[in-house]
Amino acid sequence: MDFHLKESIGQKVVNFCVNKKKQQTEQTKKKIADSARSLFAQKGYKATSIEDIVKATGCSAGNIYYHFKNKEGLFLYLLEDWNREWDKTWLAKEKLYATTTEKLYGMAEYLALDQLSHPLTKAADEFFNNSEKAPEVEERINEMVKGYIDFNRQLLQRGIDHDEFEIANVTGLAIILDGLMLGLNQHSRRMDREEALAAYRLAMDVFLLGIAKRTR
Amino acid sequence: MDFHLKESIGQKVVNFCVNKKKQQTEQTKKKIADSARSLFAQKGYKATSIEDIVKATGCSAGNIYYHFKNKEGLFLYLLEDWNREWDKTWLAKEKLYATTTEKLYGMAEYLALDQLSHPLTKAADEFFNNSEKAPEVEERINEMVKGYIDFNRQLLQRGIDHDEFEIANVTGLAIILDGLMLGLNQHSRRMDREEALAAYRLAMDVFLLGIAKRTR
DNA sequence: TACAATACTGAACATATATTCAGTATTATA
DNA sequence: TATAATACTGAATATATGTTCAGTATTGTA
């Protein structure tokens, strides 16, 4: 209405206007991400087409490619988003456990439930194992795997420092722990909630007994 | 040369002729299976096209469909062939080990090496996790998984009978053992021979300590 | 030799599906 | 208000690829 107002407030108005575009972008990006996540979870990576996402979001194919580099990029975004979410949730949850042993049981429980409510894991497996990916994507995946291993390694190291476990090869066991969770995840798809929880707990029982301090 | 000879020998000649066709079929089927196995192992399931197999074998697309129902059927054939091979090899190997503990270490070692030399596992994972499969195929896969679990269950049960382990939930542990091997398999793809062997051995160390009889 | 069954060919079919791009609409800037 | 930047459209592109089928060649049968 009054253009002098615009100038008098200056930067603030500009920021507001810029934000309106940023806001729109964020909103659209989120809408695409949410639909895509749900579809990937239901149908898997390959089986979910851009067309599917177009139908689910109501926005055009071109718009998806405006916000994401390509299908791979969209999926990577979801994976990284998921990792961020995990870090956040875990950081809050971790404090509730006193010992590393308790933390590991807590992690197992969370994984059991997260995987059931969050079947993106299935699509992730498909994506990780699919051999037709760009080198940069391969690299990004390697980093993610390294991150998971490192997470376990640090957890186990703290357990050693607190005299809970007796471990010589920490990295090796970090890999084994990840492998155990990874393998169980596949089996948990054929289980209901209670079975999955029991399986993860049992796995952790065995793992912990396997690395427990021995009484000589 | 002499048509009377044909008649005088009778059934034998007939069989010989029938065999010539059967022989041809077997030979072609094997050629296709071998090429396909190698391609699936290199490129993965989805990434290997019928066209690829056509080029590798030198026979036509139609011929592949003459011998196998479709691409899924061809892959299932390879999986079942692999299972048969495993059963045979294991049956021979198993006798060399006295205790179940030794058998489990033997199994781990074999899996570590087999998976390296036999990267069909990667394609198998892709295939198992792919959600676009016919119901009958799904069923066949479920049976295979059941078979793997049952194999472990029997192995563990024998260990219990011989007082080697202390296990309450045999089936649960059979699943965990399979999951452990499955998860390790994924990681072993990023390892060389020695690393993989060490990882599998360490995993079995932990697993066995985790289910060992306790001294009270 | 005539007929039947089996083994095989390869082009055509059907279709799915990631990606681009010329153009339009909306919003920011001066 | 004019220009630039950003957000978006949707049809066209490009192409890959599983599967079929009419027809041919080889082998078995009587």
User: Which one, of B144, B177, B160, lies nearest residue B75 by Cα?
Assistant: B144
Question: What is the tens place of the pLDDT at every residue in A124-176?
Answer: 988 887 777 888 999 999 999 999 999 999 999 999 999 999 999 999 999 99
Taking the CA atoms of residue B162, residue B167, residue B171 and residue B177 in that order, the dihedral angle to the nearest 10 degrees is -90
The set of strand C positions with any atom below 7 Å of a protein CB reads: 6-12, 16-22, 27-29
Residue range A11-24: mean pLDDT, rounded: 64
User: In the structure encoding, which two tokens stand for residue A213, read together?
Assistant: 């301090």
Task: Determine whether the interchain pair A131/B47 forms a contact, defined as Cβ–Cβ distance below 8 Å.
Answer: yes
**Whether B203 contacts chain A with CB within 8 A:** yes
Q: Phi first, then psi: give them for residue A205, nearest 5 degrees.
A: -55, -55
Residue range A41-46: mean pLDDT, rounded: 86
DSSP string, B106-143: HHHHHHHHHHHH-THHHHHHHHHH-S---HHHHHHHHH
User: In the structure encoding, which two tokens stand for residue A1, read together?
Assistant: 């209405």
Closest chain B residue to A47, measured at CA: B132
Q: Which domains are present in chain A? A: 7-68 (1.10.10.60), 78-216 (1.10.357.10)
d(CA B119, CA B171): 28
Question: What is the tens place of the pLDDT at every residue in A65-116?
Answer: 999 999 999 999 999 999 999 999 999 999 999 999 999 999 999 999 988 7
**Whether A172 contacts chain B with CB within 8 A:** yes
How many Å from the CA of A61 to C1' of C19? 9
Q: Phi first, then psi: give them for residue A77, nearest 5 degrees.
A: -55, -45
Task: Choose the mutation target among A39, A52, A104, A131 for the interface with B, i.e. most B CBs under 10 Å.
Answer: A131
**Whether A134 contacts chain B with CB within 8 A:** no
How many Å from the CA of A71 to C1' of C30? 39
DSSP string, B180-202: HHHHHHHHHTTS-HHHHHHHHHH
Query: Mean pLDDT of residues grouped by 10 in chain B (216 residues)?
Result: 32 53 94 95 88 96 97 96 93 95 96 83 85 87 95 97 94 98 92 96 97 78
d(CA A197, CA A39): 25
How many Å from the CA of B123 to C1' of C21? 37
Contacts A212 to B, Cβ<8 Å:
209
Strand C neighbours among B 35-94, CB < 7 A: 58-63, 65-67
Per the DSSP assignment, residues forming a β-bridge with A165 are A212
